[in-house]
Amino acid sequence: MLNTIGRSPIHQDLSYKVYKLHDDLIKIEVYWDEQPCAGHKIRINEVEVAGREIKVFYEKIYPMSEDLYCQVLRKPKDSYEVKVEPGGEDYFITLISS
């Protein structure tokens, strides 16, 4: 059963996990390192699959300066389920800021 953990070599404050849900379906979770308040979020906008190469397009969302947020350390995350070719186990994940 696939369960991959990785850190982006370019975006050092991001990491990801890949879970195999079915033979042709995986779930990708993207994490942003600890942030100082609840206003920080990360969102996966799109995922492109080309064979074993998977490109994850994401954006970081920063708190609005005029809004109030709880001061609490948190690690924002988002997840995305995507269909893949059946039988695959090894994927090359690229995180791309959009």
Per-residue tokens: 98: 């959009």
Q: What is the pLDDT of residues 12-71, one digit of tens each?
A: 899 999 999 999 999 999 999 988 888 889 999 999 999 889 999 999 999 887 677 767
Nearest Cα to 20, choosing from 5, 32, 2, 6?
2
pTM score: 0.84
* Torsion angle in degrees (nearest 10) through CA of 79, 80, 81, 85: -120
- CB proximity list for 65: less than 8 A, separation 6 or greater: none
Going by pLDDT thresholds of 50, 70 and 90, the confidence category of residue 81 is very high
H or E element at residue 64: none
Domain boundary assignment for the chain: 3-97
Predicted pLDDT at 91: 87
